[in-house]
Amino acid sequence: VARHADRKPTSYPSDPYFQYWERISNRKLTKNGIRRSFHVGEELQKEYKTFLPKDIRDVYARSQDSDVCLETCETILAALFPPQGDKVWNENLIWQPIAVHAKPIIEDNVSE
């Protein structure tokens, strides 16, 4: 269980810092948020390496259905389960797709 990482701050009409954040879409992770999420995944991978499944088909990932939560979950999973052996599909990209399951927030009774 983890909370989402750094995201674009909520803006308001007279926000003097709006110009710094306007390039980032609403409810999206910042670069720092992506780095932090990836680091969380790396640390979890180190700590639980012997416990984690070797086959990603044995992984069930659950997230709240919001962009920032889904992005955080996907980034943590990328660090937790880097592709190895025949799972490497691109030598320049150490990533493999892992399904993340979500329900609309109004129906999500797990993450209340």
For residue 93, being part of any structural domain is answered with yes
Residue 79 belongs to a domain:
yes
Q: Is residue 20 part of a domain?
A: no
What is the average pLDDT value for the chain, to the nearest integer? 83
Token couple for 4: 């989402």
* Inside any domain, residue 102: yes
- What per-residue confidence (pLDDT) applies to 41? 95
Question: Stretch 21-48: mean pLDDT, rounded?
Answer: 83
Asked whether the predicted pLDDT for residue 104 surpasses 60, the reply is yes
Return the pLDDT at 8. Answer: 59
- Residue at 44 is within a domain: yes
Report the number of distinct structural domains present in the chain.
1
Say if residue 97's pLDDT is above 60: yes
